[in-house]
Amino acid sequence: MEQKKQISGEAWHSMEDSGIFDKLNVSKGGLSPEEVKSRRENYGENKLPEGKKVTLLEIILHQLLNPLIYILIAAAIASVAIGEAKDAIFIFLVIVINTAIGAYQEYTAEKSATTLQKLLRFKANVRREGKQLSIPSEELVPGDVVLLESGIKVPADIRLIESSGLEMDESLLTGESVSVKKKSGTLAENLGIAERTNMAFAGSTVLYGRGWGVVVSTGLETEVGKISMHVTESESAKPPLVQRMEKFIQQIGILIIVLSLIIGVMLYLQGSGLMDIFFFVVALAVSAIPEGLPVALTVALSIAAKRMAKRNVIVRKLNSVESLGSCTVIASDKTGTLTVNEQTAKRVILPDGSIFNIEGEGYNGDGKVFRENEPEREISFSENRELQKICRIAVCANEASLTKENDKWVHNGDSMDVALLGMSYKFGLNPVSAEEDQADLIPYESERKFSAAFCKNSNIDLKGAVETVLDFCDTMSIDGSPVELDRDLILEQADKLAKQGYRVLAFANRKFPDYEKKKDYKPEDIPTLTFYGLVGFIDPLRKEARGSVEQCKKAGIKVIMITGDHPSTAKTLACELGIANENTKVINGKMLQEANSPNTKAYKDLVASATVFARVSPSQKLEIVDVLIGEGEFVAVTGDGVNDAPALKRANIGVAMGSGTDVAKEVGSMIVVDDNFSSIVAGVEEGRFAYDNVRKVIYLLISTGAAEVILFICSILAGLPLPLLAVQLLWLNLVTNGIQDVALAFEKGEPGAMKRKPRSPAEKIFNPLMVKQTLVSSVTIGIIVFGFWFWLNNYTQMEEFHARNLILLLMVFMQNFHVFNCRSERVSTFKIPLTRNVLLVFGVLIAQGIHVLSMQIPFMQNILRIEPITVSEWFYILLLAVPIILVMELFKLFNVKKDKRANPVEINSRN
């Protein structure tokens, strides 16, 4: 669908109503059919471009687009060219198995990305030529007059002309947890989306009230449309494992080519024929290529994905499994991730300065109340006259409901009103019975900033914004008696709460003997009142959040908060979490805007220095992530709203919340089922375990492959025949190691993984430790096997066929023993309980058993060029393989001592 050009760049929220009508050439009666048709041709339909569904064929092709697969295909073709079809069959079998496993995992996790389009597909009530019509939302055009009422979704970006008690849920765009009060009129030009209270944005929901306005943007020009473009056009950063594997495979490919050329030249200089040289080179390539690596990696990542699922993290793409473990920065959304996304009354302050703290969190009545200076003694509202009044006011001047049904709390209505009902339960007042006192109500509206209830017991109850409520009061209650109102004192108390991140409501009451049972009371009917106290509300932190942030710090991961909420609220929560301290400067969207382009040093310095970002737009969140990635960080981004989607897609790893929008879940690489930040940390741990296991598998396969290359090179230099045939090498790499490396992938995580610093973004898979242990183990295996081959050829009268049979068995034994070395890169083999991976023990026995059994079966004897051996030969060869364990134990001992001197804290955390 092609989106036509629309009016853009206008600050609609700062325009006078008359300017809106003039600019869009429309009247209050709406557009004519002819004008609608003309504008639709000019502006296009009010919908977003549909995302292309990923087919099963595309998923399969995605598995094949792997450099290692290319090398395997080349080796298979070479095998066919020299007449070794059996070798080619083995290789193609590996490719098929790897592709099947990877495709199945991705296909079962992948969903069609269609939710962004659904956001703008519903009915819209419009006024055209003075008549009210209900039309499909995609037929809207700029200039349409749209009628809004509670319960509907906003079909386009609308400039409000009239509103009455209009409140909207814009959390999918702004990330704010409370409803937004809307009003008509003009606003200052330089305001963020969350502050444009005279605009209704596409995709948001009308909670209360009614109003009407003029469509100013449709389709891609809406705020949600701009987010859609960011999601569509931005490219996801490659997962760390993909980046490292691409480098690694490139290096393997180059190494194979270089070795092949060197060996080819050596053989040519020795007088070998070109066909013999070709045979040698193909055999060498087969030994160097880790044919079992794709399958082993896929299995390792699949196992990790299942383990993550048990810890409430669903992986959508296998390559993302390890990404969380690699992240150096977690850029977390606040609402719903670090907090419970449910406003909760937490503090009550009375005019005499008494402070009461309220336990519990969320929309429920579970919790107790304590006086701040008496944290051990529970308080009931009946103990204090002012508390009684506040609770009764909270219940009577209330438009929400909160009840417990079948052991579950059920709520409806404004979040602040629901929170007040929860508070009343905690104080010991049942709102269901108390709310029956309400006889008439002046509902809350953003223009008047209060609500008032006229009660059957001849009281009037009022709650609202502090300054507004104080304007109605001339006295305040202390110890049950009215005294002269100290306005400055109350404002100071309210300001203190606000600076601590609380939203504050004030409460007032008075006997109203002149009350008459009439309707339509007006604000002017309210007499002078007595002030009773303040209540502070906050979207509370999840219980596990602080501990999880602390765990991230120990793991060397920087946690930053990015939210659309108010800076003071963001800072308060960040300080509670340990993300910030009192001296931390909160960076807001305006400051980022003033820093100009994200490419400037000023912008980069601002991002690098901050841990809390507030009042930022979706595009700014994307820019922050871009800057962090550009500075070399591996970034994990969490989020749940449409506003988070661009950053989720751009990040190295996008982590969507399970209760969030489908849009966020579809662009994220992972989904946290329980919305809990602690589950993200659990995912980090599993990701580190996964990477450790990937390294173990790579270490096993590369070291044994390198040993085979050393064996070949030494044999050529010594003028000996090939110690192993190509099909025997494939047997070792695909079957013997193929069983063991899969079993190795089931290895449980080593203790201390979350006390290590993240790997450097520049670190390759073959870091210094991997290089050293691979060299030591491969040289040990290669030299021992070559020595045996040399002795068999020069000091015995054994036939070449039988000698090669023994060499193959020795290599099988070497791999059987060496896999136990690979269980840990630092911890002694003898210190790791076999019970931690019983499957590996069975895998080794099965690998050895299959090989011994194959030596007895004629069919396998023919394929592998092997034959049976005596028990004594089997035993002597087993003893020949033991040194690989002893050598690597000495290597670990030496390496750990060296590491202890360099970093004693990290080493101790592993043990």
Spacing of C-alpha 486 from chain mean position: 49
Angle at the Cα of 332 from the Cα atoms of 331 and 334, rounded to 5 degrees: 145
Q: Which of 741, 758, 721 has its CA nearest to residue 636?
A: 758
Residues 6+ apart with CB under 8 A from 481: none
Q: How far apart are CA 64 and CA 58, in angstroms?
A: 10
Catalytic residue among 144, 157, 333, 692: 333
Q: Is 131 exposed, middle or buried (0-12, 13-18, 19+ CB in 10 A)?
A: exposed
Q: How far apart are CA 460 and CA 480, in angstroms?
A: 17
Contact status, residue 756 vs residue 905, Cβ threshold 8 Å: no
φ, ψ at 660 (rounded to 5°): -80, -175
Q: How far apart are CA 91 and CA 113, in angstroms?
A: 36
Q: What is the DSSP letter of 541?
A: B
Q: Is 234 exposed, middle or buried (0-12, 13-18, 19+ CB in 10 A)?
A: middle
- Helix or strand or coil: residue 605? helix
| Cross-strand partners of 181 | 167
Tokens 């949600």 belong to residue? 224
Q: How many CA atoms lie within 13 A of 7 on its CB side?
A: 15
Q: Which H, E and C letters describe 743-774, residue by residue?
A: HHCCCCCCCCHHHCCCCCCCCCCCCHHHHHHH
Q: What is the separation, in whole angstroms, between the first and last Cα of the chain?
A: 59
Concerning whether 333 is annotated as a catalytic residue, the answer is yes
Structure tokens at 793: 């050829």
Q: What is the total residue count of the chain?
A: 911
The DSSP result for 769-814, as a single string, is: HHHHHHHHHHHHHHHHHHHHHHHHHHHS---HHHHHHHHHHHHHHH
Q: How far apart are CA 615 and CA 526, in angstroms?
A: 37
Contact status, residue 207 vs residue 161, Cβ threshold 8 Å: no
Q: How far apart are CA 653 and CA 308, in angstroms?
A: 15
Kindly report the number of other CB atoms within 10 A of residue 383's CB atom. 14
Contact status, residue 758 vs residue 557, Cβ threshold 8 Å: yes
Q: Is 750 exposed, middle or buried (0-12, 13-18, 19+ CB in 10 A)?
A: buried
Catalytic residue annotation:
333
